[in-house]
Structures are given as C-alpha cells and as structure tokens.
Amino acid sequence: MNRSNIKVLVLTGDGINCEEETANAFREHGVQPRIIHIQDLIEKPTLLTEAHILALPGGFSFGDEIGSGQILALKLKYSLGEALTTFIKDGKLIIGICNGFQALVRLGLLPKPFTQREMTLTHNRQGHFINRWVDLTIPQSKCVWTNTLYGLTINLPIRHGEGKIVFAGDKASQDKIYESLLEQGQIALTYKEDINGSSFKIAGVSDPSGRILGLMPHPEAATSEWLNPSGGEKSGQIGIGSKIFESGIQFCETNF
C-alpha cells in the first residue's frame, strides 16, 4: 500500500489536547491523518473500519476524574467496543500516548487484549506531576512501532502524574507477569533510571502481536531536534520520536 492511502484517525475531544502534534507526526511522513472528535467517531464507527491506524493522544480526558483515562476507556468500550474489537482482529495498529496509554490499559487492550486485566497505571512514586526529558532504552521486542530503535538509548519528554505501572497480585505474581511480558517481547520501552516508580522501569508495552503500543513518553513532541531542550545541539534534523511513527507507517505499507 502506498503511504498516501494509509488512513490514520487521531482522536480528540473530552480533554484530549495533543491531537495536533500527534497528527503532525504522521503528516510529516506523507500520510494525511484525520483528527476526529470521539463523539463523531461514535456516531460513524465505519470510519474506524476504513482506517489502518488509530491514535489516542495525550491530554487530560474528562479531567482525569476517577483515574486517568478511566472515563475515556468506558466511553470507548460501551460506544465503540464492537468496532474496536473488529479493528484489532483485522490486524490494524493502535498507539496510545500518555493519557491514551492509560485509556488502553483501562480499556483492557494492554498488555493482552480481551483477557483479565493484570496491569494498571497509578500515581507517580513522587506523588506529583513530572515534566522533563528522560533517557529510555529500547529492548528487543515484537513491537512494530519501535522495531527500528532496538538496542538504542533515546531521549523523549514525559509529562504525567499517573505513569507508574503496577502489576496485579503479590510480588511473586508481579514478577511472573513481568517475565511473561518479557518472554513474549511486549516490553517496548524502559526508563534508563527509576523515573516514577514504574515496575521494572517500564515506560511502554505492546500487546502480544506488537501492533498495539502504549507508552508514557511523548514521541510526537520529539519529531525534530529543534524540540530538544539541549540548546547547543539544536538543528533541523529529524528527531528520534519521528522514527516511532515512521515504523508504524512502514508496517501498514507492507501489510495492507
């Protein structure tokens, strides 16, 4: 498939506020994303059927009432559940960034779709919002979004209050869940240091197929070196975050 024919839907509305940056990250690679209000998608779910990629951007959906991403997840589940299930079973791609990641987890699509939830995202260890750039490592995984970054240490911005990944059960159960995710190649990004208390320093996970990615860092805010906070290193070069979107697009070119 020619990338000009790849259809990307970027959700907006209800407190989502990173839709423009996320859409631009796709647009810079030759696709024409459509920013769509969640209510418009609910009223016309066939738009999801026609799409190849669904992006859930960052923000503060519903003001993070009763937990970040919780109400957005419920709205998606009860209004678009059937369409989303078909979308996933058709092998299409989803990326959830920050609040979008939180929604995917609470929707039950990560780390394993359509199974009992075994992971959540809760308040940072520090008990407050964090806004900074962090170093991340990219382990070998099945994630199609990060497959051009394996083995690298990259720098991306984070800005969240509830980014601490926690697994269900006692320590033995938590260790078992982590080992399972590791063995199945679902750990997509890890913090180089303990940034927020996230279990095993995990910053992003994919589903077992590698097509659904949720991550707390904001790659859409690092698509150009001009956005890097290190003033002396600024240039017009493409930023490392751009490679994540390019990888998703390349997957669509090859598989659809």
- Based on the residue annotation, tell me whether 220 is a catalytic residue of this protein: yes
Which position among 162, 220, 246, 252 bears the catalytic label?
220
- Based on the residue annotation, tell me whether 160 is a catalytic residue of this protein: no
Which position among 29, 52, 160, 218 bears the catalytic label?
218
The CATH code of the domain that includes 126 is: 3.40.50.880
- Based on the residue annotation, tell me whether 179 is a catalytic residue of this protein: no
| pLDDT for residue 66 | 56
How many domains, in total, are found in the chain?
1
Residues spanned by the domain of 176: 3-255
pLDDT for residue 138 is more than 60: yes
Q: What HEC string does 33-99 produce?
A: CEEEEHHHHHHCCHHHHHCCEEEECCECHHHHCCCCCHHHHHHHHHHHHHHHHHHHHCCCEEEEECH
Cβ–Cβ under 8 Å, residues 64 and 177: no
Cβ–Cβ under 8 Å, residues 190 and 137: yes
- Using CA atoms of 169, 175, 181, 183 in order, give the dihedral in degrees to the nearest 10: -150
In this structure, the number of other CB atoms found within 10 A of the CB of residue 24 comes to: 14
pTM of the model: 0.95
**pLDDT tens digit string along 35-91?**
999 999 999 999 999 999 999 999 876 655 655 677 888 899 999 999 999 999 999
Cβ–Cβ under 8 Å, residues 149 and 244: yes
